[in-house]
Structure 1
Amino acid sequence: MHDVLVIGGGNAALCAALMAREAGASVLLLEASPREWRGGNSQHTRNLRCMHDAPQDVLLESYPEEEFWQDLLKVTGGNTDEPLARLVIRASATCRPWMRRHGVRFQPSLAGTLHLSRTNAFFMGGGKALVNAYYRSAENLGVEIRYESPVDRLELREGRFVAAHAGGRRIEAKACVLACGGFESNREWLREAWGRNERGEWPADNFLIRGTRFNQGVLLRHMMEQGADIIGDPTQAHCVAIDARAPLYDGGIVTRVDAVSLGVMVNRDGERFYDEGEDFWPKRYAIWGRLVALQPGQIGYCIIDSKAIGRFMPPVFPGVKANTLPDLARALGLPERRFMQTLDAYNAACRVGSFDHTVLDDCHTEGLAPPKTHWARPIDQAPFFGYALRPGITFTYLGLRTDDRARVHFDRRPSDNLFVAGEMMAGNVLGRGYTAGVGMSIGTAFGRIAGTQAARAALGEAAHAVA
């Protein structure tokens, strides 16, 4: 029997396994995917949002706790647990030396990643390099890893973990960490959550999955059926508007189109539907998937002109190009007359001041609904470009309620040997909304906590200290 069983194979699971092993526990990690697809959604990440009070290696200036908290408060609309959120924020200030010890390397922010050089530490080689570094370290430390080992159910006794069942095998452990993600890859569950809209459509049928196909939510559903305390809205998710040509699974970050704040977004009827310049893109990019999901056919179109080229990270697919706006409308299959009415009204409403996409500038619209609050410039310089966008689900926010010791709760009573980390509990901090890199902050913080607490539960409190 192992001391600690970790179920999952992404960032949070690996942090938990490493911490538990460092604390002296024997650890078994079960990853549902084959080895070549290991890492869950973490393989598609690229940075970690970090609190810091002064410049630190790849991080510029400072990003104090209160600013981080206010950023999170704003994007969630207050739908967050402040003590747990602040725990994550403070943990983000101290985790990088530990990450380096396990082989993770950092680099300065990339060109085109606006506003992140001060707030986010980028992984050298991206999320896949981070995941590989953690797996190497785990193997070197003696963590046993089994791939293609999805867990079907848990044996629980009065809120205590007894054993896991995976492919007909019963696996006992003294403590367990659940870190196997949400249900974003489960199309039927997405359909159930979103239902039909007023147009009779099933919105979820048009969702693309930015990350792993293996996050089916099997254990999340099982834990709900076992009476675990749940938190979150099943329709809330890290949901980004991504290129409609992206693959169904594992498109990752390269399918994102970061040009929205530099142009306008219209739906398939050729109408704008939200303020493209509401705030800095890293604080708003993750609202656009949900906004597009609410549009007819769950599709939107980002329209820019040549002035925007070179000011955003180029996506993997080129945009549709045309020399006139009517030609662009026809190329995108949009109603030309309504499209031109929308673009003409927008262009006429622009009040251009000192354009600067690195600040909340004074370029705005007047007398237009919805407005464009910043970076509003007429779309008038050929050639013109359009990107068809669909909702891209990264991870869902419905999850297990927890506390500052990462414990799973049953009827508000914490388990003493069952813990949770990562996307499976991110809804405690992210009731809605998102800001760049905070998912990795949550997974790293709670993965480390869960691993430490699981080792203590397995081996006894006196034998361990937080690494």
Structure 2
Amino acid sequence: MVDVLVIGGGNAALCAALMAREAGASVLLLEASPREWRGGNSQHTRNLRCMHDAPQDVLVDAYPEEEYWQDLLKVTGGATDEALARLVIRASSRCRPWMRKHGVRFQPSLSGALHTARTNAFFMGGGKALVNAYFRSAEALGVRIRYEAPVQRLELREGRFVAAFVGDERIEARACVLAAGGFESNRDWLREAWGVNARGEHPADNFLIRGTRFNTGVLLKHMIDAGADTIGDPTQAHMVAIDARAPLYDGGICTRIDCVSLGVVVNRDAERFYDEGEDFWPKRYAIWGRLVAQQPGQIAWSIIDAKAVGRFMPPVFPGTQAGTLGELARGLGLDEARFVQTIEQYNAACRGGRFDHTALDDCRTVGLAPAKTHWARPIDTPPFYGYALRPGVTFTYLGLKVDARASVHFGGRPSSNLFVAGEMMAGNVLGKGYTAGVGMSIGTAFGRIAGTEAARAARTPQKEPVHAAA
């Protein structure tokens, strides 16, 4: 029998496996994907949001706890557990030396990378390099790893973990960490959660999945059915407006369109529907997927002119380009008269002084609904560009309720040997909204906690309950 079983193969799972092994436990990690697709959504990440009180190697200035907390509070609208959120924030200031010890390397924020030089430490080589570094370190430490080993169900006894099942194979362990991701790749569950809108559409049918195809939520569903306490809304997710031409799965970072705050966004009716300049892009980029999901046909278009070029990370695929607004409308398949009217009304409403995309400037609209509150400049300099947008789901927020020990709860009581980390519990901190890099902060903090607690639980003698239920 192994001491600690870790179910999952992304950042949170790997942090748990490494911490448990460092604590002296024998560890088996079960990854659902083949080896070449290992790492879950973590392979598509780029950075970690880090609290720091002074400049640190790749991080400039300071990003203190209270500012981090206020940023999180703003994007979640208060839908967060403050104690657990602050635990994550403080942990983010202490984890990087440990990450380096396991082979992760950092680099400064790239120019145009969402203005994150002060708040986010970027992984050299991206998330794939981080995942590979952790797997190499885990193997060197003696963690056993099995690929193509999806867990469908657990054997539990009165809230205590006994065994996991991979098909008909029963795997026992003294303690277990669940880190198998959300349900974003389960189309049926997404359709059930989102239902049918007032237009008779199934919005989820038009969602693209930015991350792994292996996060189908089978284990999460099993835990809910087994009576584990849950938290979060199944329709809430890290959902970004991405290039409508992106693949159905695993498009990752490169599918994102980052010019929204530099222009306007219109829907299928060629109408604006939200303030594109509400706040800095790292704090607001993840609301746009949900906004697009609420539009007719779950599609929208980001519109810019030549003045915006060079001020954002360019998309992988070129947008539709035109010499006039009318020509652009025709190229996008939008009603030409309505589109031109929308842009001209916006142009006429633009007011303000000096444009500054690095600050909340005073370039705004007046007398326009919805307003654009910052970075509002007329779209009047050809060539003009349009990028079609679809909702891109990164991960879902419905998950298992936890405490500061990362324990799974049943009826309000924490399990003595079953823990959870990563997307399966991120809803405790992220009730809604997102800010760049916080998902990796949550996964790293709770992965490390879960691994430590699982190793401790494996060493603690337990009384065997009488009644069993699989």
- Shorter-chain TM range is over 0.9
Is the CA contact 1:46–1:123 (under 8 Å) kept in the aligned structure 2? yes
Is the CA contact 1:293–1:390 (under 8 Å) kept in the aligned structure 2? yes
Aligned position for 2:447: 447
| Separation in 1, partners of 2:242, 2:262 | 16
Deviation at 1:377, TM superposition (A): 0.1
The amino acid of 1:277's aligned partner reads G
| Separation in 2, partners of 1:387, 1:244 | 8
Deviation at 1:198, TM superposition (A): 0.2
State whether structure 2 residue 408 is matched by structure 1 residue 392.
no
Aligned position for 1:210: 210
Deviation at 1:422, TM superposition (A): 0.2
Is the CA contact 1:243–1:256 (under 8 Å) kept in the aligned structure 2? yes
Aligned position for 2:264: 264
Deviation at 1:337, TM superposition (A): 1.1
| Separation in 2, partners of 1:260, 1:445 | 31
Is the CA contact 1:187–1:204 (under 8 Å) kept in the aligned structure 2? yes
Cα deviation, 1:257-307, whole Å, max 9, x if unaligned, reads 000000000001000000000000000000000000000000010000000
Equivalent residues in 2 for 1:180-191, closer than 5 Å = 180-191=180-191
| Separation in 1, partners of 2:132, 2:460 | 31
Q: Gaps (5+ residues) in structure 2?
A: 462-470
Aligned position for 2:294: 294
Aligned position for 1:85: 85
Scaled by the length of structure 1, the TM-score of the pair is 0.98
Equivalent residues in 2 for 1:29-44, closer than 5 Å = 29-44=29-44
Deviation at 1:206, TM superposition (A): 0.1
The amino acid of 2:139's aligned partner reads E
Deviation at 1:168, TM superposition (A): 1.6
The amino acid of 1:157's aligned partner reads R
CA RMSD after TM alignment: 0.6
| Separation in 1, partners of 2:163, 2:399 | 21
- Any runs of at least 4 consecutive aligned residues in structure 1 with deviations exceeding 6 A, and if so which? none
Cα deviation, 1:119-176, whole Å, max 9, x if unaligned, reads 0000000000000000000000000000000001000000000000002210000000
Deviation at 1:115, TM superposition (A): 2.1
Aligned position for 2:279: 279
Q: Gaps (5+ residues) in structure 1?
A: 462-467
| Separation in 2, partners of 1:413, 1:74 | 31
Deviation at 1:314, TM superposition (A): 0.9
| Separation in 1, partners of 2:152, 2:118 | 42
State whether structure 2 residue 326 is matched by structure 1 residue 326.
yes
Identity of aligned residues (%): 82
The amino acid of 1:106's aligned partner reads F
Equivalent residues in 2 for 1:294-443, closer than 5 Å = 294-443=294-443
Deviation at 1:61, TM superposition (A): 0.4
| Separation in 1, partners of 2:252, 2:316 | 10
Aligned position for 2:60: 60
| Separation in 1, partners of 2:411, 2:335 | 54
Equivalent residues in 2 for 1:51-200, closer than 5 Å = 51-200=51-200
Is the CA contact 1:164–1:172 (under 8 Å) kept in the aligned structure 2? yes
Cα deviation, 1:167-187, whole Å, max 9, x if unaligned, reads 221000000000000000000
| Separation in 2, partners of 1:76, 1:98 | 29
3-state SS, counterpart of residue 28 of structure 2? strand
| Separation in 1, partners of 2:332, 2:184 | 29
| Separation in 1, partners of 2:305, 2:328 | 11
Deviation at 1:74, TM superposition (A): 0.3
Deviation at 1:331, TM superposition (A): 0.2
Cα deviation, 1:341-376, whole Å, max 9, x if unaligned, reads 110100000003110000000000000000000000
| Separation in 2, partners of 1:353, 1:190 | 45
| Separation in 1, partners of 2:315, 2:254 | 6
The amino acid of 1:11's aligned partner reads N
Is the CA contact 1:208–1:393 (under 8 Å) kept in the aligned structure 2? yes
The amino acid of 2:47's aligned partner reads N
| Separation in 1, partners of 2:313, 2:458 | 47
Deviation at 1:114, TM superposition (A): 3.4
State whether structure 2 residue 8 is matched by structure 1 residue 8.
yes
Cα deviation, 1:61-99, whole Å, max 9, x if unaligned, reads 000000000000000000000000000000000000000
Aligned position for 2:466: none
3-state SS, counterpart of residue 419 of structure 1? strand
Aligned position for 1:21: 21
Deviation at 1:460, TM superposition (A): 3.5
The amino acid of 1:268's aligned partner reads R
Deviation at 1:459, TM superposition (A): 1.5
Is the CA contact 1:244–1:390 (under 8 Å) kept in the aligned structure 2? yes
Scaled by the length of structure 2, the TM-score of the pair is 0.98
| Separation in 2, partners of 1:31, 1:110 | 32
| Separation in 2, partners of 1:292, 1:358 | 25
Is the CA contact 1:114–1:358 (under 8 Å) kept in the aligned structure 2? no
| Separation in 1, partners of 2:218, 2:460 | 31
The amino acid of 2:225's aligned partner reads E
The amino acid of 1:446's aligned partner reads F
Aligned position for 1:464: none
| Separation in 2, partners of 1:339, 1:83 | 47
| Separation in 1, partners of 2:48, 2:436 | 8
Is the CA contact 1:113–1:312 (under 8 Å) kept in the aligned structure 2? yes
How many residue pairs get matched? Answer: 461
| Separation in 2, partners of 1:318, 1:352 | 30
State whether structure 2 residue 276 is matched by structure 1 residue 240.
no
The amino acid of 1:147's aligned partner reads Y
Deviation at 1:194, TM superposition (A): 0.1
Deviation at 1:224, TM superposition (A): 0.5
